[in-house]
Amino acid sequence: MKESTLATKVMIAVLCAGVAVYLAVSLFRGWEEPLVTVRAYAYSQDVGVEATGILVRQETVLPDSGGSYVDHVLAEGEKAAAGQAAALLYSDSSALSARQSIRALSAEIEQLQFALASGTQTANASRLDAQVISSITALRALTARGDLTALEEYALNLRTMVFKRDYTYGDTAAAGQMEQLIQDRQAELTRLSQSLSQVSRTVYTPVSGVFSSSVDGWESVITPAMLDDLTAAGLADLLAQKPTPPANQVGKLITSSTWYYAALIPGRDSGLQSGKTYSLSFSGDYFGQIPMTLERVVLEDEQTLAIFSCRSHLADTTLLRVETVDVVIRQLDGIRIPRKALRVETVEEEQEDGSTRQVNHYKVYTVIRSQSWGQEVELLYTDDNFYLVRPVDPGAADRLRAGDDVILNSAGIYDGKVVK
C-alpha cells in the first residue's frame, strides 16, 4: 500500500513538472515577437541635385495696335507659319463673349456627333462603364500630382464616354433626342455667328514659330545670344529681377526650335560634365522629365552655372520661365528593403601593414523554406523610409533577390533558425 502511494506521488510530481515546463515554454513563446516579413522588390532611384534657373528662348512679341478685347486664334504651343492669323481684336466685350460661345458650341456639337455615330454601333454597356471609371481615375491622378499638361484631352475623352454611355443606356428614342439636341445647338451657333460684331483687326504672325499667349517681360531681358558670356553671378542678378510685361501685346512667337535652361546649382562638385545628356525633372505647368544636353558648366564662388539645351518638348514648356528642377545625374538600380530589415555587423579586419580596423558589413535575413538565412549586401542609397541595396556577390546562388521575403524583426535571428 505504501509502495503504491509513493509511486502515485512520483507520477503526480512528474506530471506537475511537465505541466510547469509546458506552461513556461508557452509563456515564453507568447512573449516572443511574431515573425514579420516584407517582400523585397527591384527599384530604380534617381540621384541628382536641385537647380534653380530660367528658360531661355528666341522670342518675338506680337504687338496689339488696336482693339480692346483679344481672342487668340492659335492655341498655346501651336506651330504657326508666317502670315497666319494669331489673334482677333474686338472693340467690345459682347463680340468676344459671342466668339467664345461659338467656340464652346462648336466643340459640343462635334462631341455630340461623335457620340451619336459611335452609338449606332454595338456597344458593350459594362465596357463603357469601365471606360468612364478609367477616365475619372486618370483625371484624378493628373490633378493629384499637379500635372495639367493633358487635362483638356482627358476631360474631352471623359465627356465623350459619358455621351456614349447615356446613349447606350437610353430608350428607343435616344437617337432622335440626340439628333434634336444637335439641331438645337447648330441653330444657336448660327444665331450667334450672325450676331457677331465686326472684327476690328486681325494680328498676323510676321515669321514662323511656336505661339504662346504668355508674355512675361523676360523676352528682351535674356536671350540665347547672352548665354556664351553668362556667369553665375550674372545669372543670380538676373533671377533677382522681376521684369514687367509690355503693354499692348497679344502673345509671342518662339522662333527657334532649340531652347535653353540656365541654372544655378549650389556647390562646386556637382559631378556634371559638358556634352552629356541629363534628365531634368520639372513640375507645375509641365510635369515630367526632359532630356537635355549640358552645353556649358562653370564653377565659381561655391556654386555651379550650368546651361542645358534641348530640341524637344518646346510646345509643352511655353508657359515655363523661372523654374526649380531636379537634375538627375545618375540612376541607381537595386533592391528596395525597409530600414528595419538591414542589420549592421561590425568586424575587425587585418590590414596589409598588420594593423586592424573595424569594418561594417550589411546583412539582410530572408526566409528560405522555414528557416532564416542572412545575405550580405552593399548599401547603395539611404532614404528616410527605405534602403536600396544589391548583393555583394551577384553570382552567388543564395544571394538576395527581388521577391524574397525579408525579415524585419531580426533580433535573435541567425542562419538556420526555424522561423516558421
The tens digit of pLDDT for each residue in 44-94 reads: 998 989 999 999 999 999 987 665 778 788 989 999 999 999 988 877 766
Q: What is the mean pLDDT of the chain?
A: 82
List of residues 6+ apart from 311 with CB closer than 8 A: 257, 258
Taking 70 as the threshold, does the pLDDT of residue 28 lie above it? Answer: no
Rg over CA atoms, the chain: 35
Joined together, the cell numbers standing for residue 142 give: 493628373
Specify the range with the lowest mean pLDDT, choosing from 126-135, 191-200, 331-340.
Answer: 191-200
> Beta-carbon neighbour count of residue 328 at 10 Å?
16
Report how many helices (DSSP H) and strands (DSSP E) the chain contains, helices first. 6, 20
Please report the pLDDT score of residue 206 as a whole number.
Answer: 93
Whether 121 shows a pLDDT value over 60: the answer reads: no
Q: Specify the pLDDT at position 369.
A: 85
The strands making up 249-254's β-sheet, listed across from edge to edge, are: 59-63, 249-254, 209-212, 79-80
The confidence band for 304, taking pLDDT boundaries of 50, 70 and 90, is very high
The domain limits of the chain are 37-45+335-418, 48-61+207-331, 93-196
Alpha-carbon distance of 243 to 238, in angstroms, equals 10
At 165, phi and psi to the nearest 5? -65, -45
Per-residue pLDDT at 377 exceeds 60: yes
Angle, to 10 degrees, between the axis of helix 93-119 and the axis of helix 174-195? Answer: 160
Tell me the CA end-to-end span of the chain in Å, nearest whole number.
Answer: 50
Is pLDDT larger for residue 96 or for residue 352? 352
The more confidently predicted of residues 36 and 258 is 258
- Crossing angle of helices 93-119 and 151-169, in 10° steps, is 50
347, 361 Cβ separation under 8 angstroms: yes
Of 234, 227, 288, 236, nearest to 261 by C-alpha is 227
* Cα torsion angle, 98, 103, 104, 109, sign: positive
Please report where in the chains the cell 487668340 appears, as a residue.
72
Q: How many CB atoms lie within 10 A of CB 175?
A: 14
Q: Please state whether the predicted TM-score (pTM) of the whole model is above 0.75.
A: no
Q: What CATH number was assigned to the domain covering residues 37-45+335-418? A: 2.40.420
Residue 295 — pLDDT band, cuts 50, 70, 90? very high
Q: Write out pLDDT tens, residues 316-367.
A: 999 999 999 999 998 899 999 999 999 888 888 777 777 788 888 899 999 9
- Which amino acid is residue 363, in one-letter code? K
More confident position, 23 or 169: 23
Per-residue model confidence (pLDDT) at position 122: 47
Report in angstroms the alpha-carbon separations of 112 from 117, 119, 158, 177, 198. 9, 10, 13, 11, 29
Q: How are the residues of the chain apportioned to helix, strand and coil, as percentages rounded to the nearest 5?
A: 30, 35, 35
- Burial (0-12, 13-18, 19+ Cβ within 10 Å), 199: middle
pLDDT at residue 213 is higher than 80: yes
Identify the helix (H) or strand (E) that includes residue 364: strand 356-368
- pLDDT reported for residue 119: 55
| DSSP 8-state symbol, 228 | G
pLDDT in tens, 140-185: 776 766 655 566 666 766 766 666 666 555 544 556 666 777 777 7
| Alpha-carbon span 203 to 74, nearest angstrom | 11
pLDDT of the residue at 173: 57
Q: Pick 309 or 330 by higher pLDDT.
A: 309
Mean of the pLDDT values across residues 269-291? 88
Task: Classify residue 384 by burial, with Cβ atoms within 10 Å: 0-12, 13-18, 19+.
Answer: exposed
Calpha distance 168→122 (Å, rounded): 9
List the beta bridge partners of residue 332: 45
CB half-sphere exposure, 264, CA atoms < 13 A: 19
Lowest mean pLDDT among 125-139, 336-350, 354-368, 393-407: 125-139
